[in-house]
Structures are given as structure tokens and as C-alpha cells.
Chain A
Amino acid sequence: MVDQSAVGHRFTPVTAHVEPGRLRYFLDTLGERNPVYRDAAAARTDGFAAIPVPPTYLFCLEMLDNEKPFEFLTALDIDLGRVLHGEQSFVYHTPVVVGDTLTFSPRVTSVTDKKGGALTLIVVETAVTNQNGVHVADTARTVVVRNG
């Protein structure tokens, strides 16, 4: 079982590229037709330098370009079949647009047992910076581990 010793654990930073083709695949999968995500002119009209990413796409980028997307599970000795996504948050500081190169730096910030140890909640917070060193976003995910 994951215990308090995991708090403070940092995972390998991930460098991710915001590529237009992969973004379109995401948009098509969700049936997203909003022109701001598909048309550079529409994006500029809304004040962006280039096509922006949808609100949840940072989560995808971190996994897409991760050489070990489940590192946080193997590092903490957690079985992939026993995890659920409990919560997810995004705080946006500066727009992320097609062509950006992002760096994700994740770390464990809390470990909490629930239901007498039947569940363990692990919070991983990730700072995201771009190619200019600008802090563009903070994300946090709560992973629920079903123990026993």
C-alpha cells in the first residue's frame, strides 16, 4: 500500500509538443466543431497567437509524450487495474497554443487513506511551463487506488 513516504516524490519531467495533427484527432474523437480550435483566423479573433488547446488537453499532452506514462504507478508499486480517477483540476495562467513545447513537472503532494484503508487517494500536482520558461498552468489529479 502507498504510504506517507510517497509525499514529495517527483516524477521524471515530461517534454510535450502541441502538434496540430494530434490535436485534430482529439477534436474529432470528441466531436468538437468549435472553429477556435480548428481555424487559426478564428483563434486570432479570440485573441490567441495560434490555435489554443481545449480545457482538458494538457492532461493528454502529458501522457502522449511521456516515455513512461504510468511511471507514477510503477514507482509507487500500484496495479494499473486498481486505479480510478477521483478528481482533476486545471488552473490556466497563460494560453497554450499549437506549436508550443511544454514541460510537465509532477510531484506527489498528499496520500490519504479512506474507508478504513480500502481506498488510498493520491494527489499529484503538476506545474506546466512553456518553451519560454513561462508558467502556463497548474494541474492536479487525484488517483484512487482500490486496495485489498
Chain B
Amino acid sequence: MNVMTEMKTEVAVGDRVVHKQFPAISRHQLALYCGASGDHNPIHVDIDFAKASGFPDVFTHGMLVMGYLGQALSDAFAPSRIRAFSTRFAAITQLGAELTCEGTVAEIFEAGGERRARLALTTRDQNGEIKLAGEAVVAL
């Protein structure tokens, strides 16, 4: 059991337990994620296709942004503690977005024979616009 996991077992409603910032999203990263994820939708990497589909430019895979949020989550709670994870994709994440992922404790409850916390999660860009809003359930 690592130190970080121990730290996060004592939490209270309202605590900000997840917080991580990520570098600006580049075209290169979208190309890498296309291959790494198996999501080959050209709308994320081919500007001609994106424009023909009515968008000014390519844009970030929602699942890349959720991947960042998942990274922030499992920095705070060991993967063995994560029971559920969900998000709504509130807005398209543009190139150059510098994302901040945060999570606060919304509820502490008992289920499955263990104490669990429900976390309210957000991912915002450098302008404070919410890109993802979601939640996770973790075992305490």
C-alpha cells in the first residue's frame, strides 16, 4: 500500500482530493492518441475532413480528455480502489487547451461491504470553461 493511498483514505465531504494540470494539447498528441487508442476517426487529425464536417479545425478526442481525468483520479486513489468512473462531454476541447482536472468529495456511503466516496469531477481549460463534468466512486 503506497503512501498516497493511505493519505486519501481519510476524507470528508467537500475535500478537494483530485487536482492535476496538463500541458497544452498539440496536433502531434492527437496523432499519437489516434494510434494509441484505436480511435481513427479522421475528425481529430485531418483538418480537411474536419472542415468538410463543419468544424474550423481538428479537435481533441473526448476520451483523451477523459484519459487525463482518469490519470488525475488514479494519482489520488490507487486503481484498485476505483469502482466507477463516468463523464459528460460538456464542450469540445480545442487544440492548445491547457487542462486542469479536479475532484471533490460529494458523498461518503457504504456499499459492497466497504466505505466509499462519490467524487464530483471536472476538467476545465485555461479559460475556466468546463469540458468534462463527471463522477467517480472510490473505496476508502
Contact = CB atoms under 8 A, between A and B. Distances in A.
Interface residues of A, number: 43
Interface stretch (A2-10, A50-58, A128-136): A50-58
Interface in A107-128: none
B85 to A, nearest CB: 5
A90 B1 CA distance: 24
Interface in A64-121: 64-66, 69-70, 80-92, 95
Nearest to B31: A29
Given A30-B71, A54-B70, A89 B85 contact: yes
A58 B130 CA distance: 24
Contact of B29 (A25, A29, A86, A92): A29
A69 B40 contact: yes
B75 A34 contact: yes
Contact of A88 (B22, B40, B43, B62): B62
Contacts of A56: 63, 66-67, 70, 85
A25 B32 CA distance: 8
A63 interface: yes
Interface residues of B, number: 45
B71 A46 contact: no
Interface of B: 1-2, 5, 22-23, 29, 32-33, 35-43, 49, 52-54, 61-64, 66-68, 70-71, 73-75, 78-80, 82-89, 92
27 contacts: A25-B32, A25-B35, A26-B67, A28-B36, A29-B29, A29-B33, A30-B64, A36-B78, A45-B1, A46-B1, A48-B79, A48-B80, A54-B67, A55-B82, A55-B85, A56-B67, A59-B37, A60-B36, A63-B38, A63-B39, A70-B41, A81-B54, A85-B62, A90-B84, A90-B86, A91-B83, A95-B80
Given A30-B33, A61-B38, 7 more contacts: A28-B36, A31-B22, A55-B85, A63-B39, A69-B39, A88-B86, A89-B85
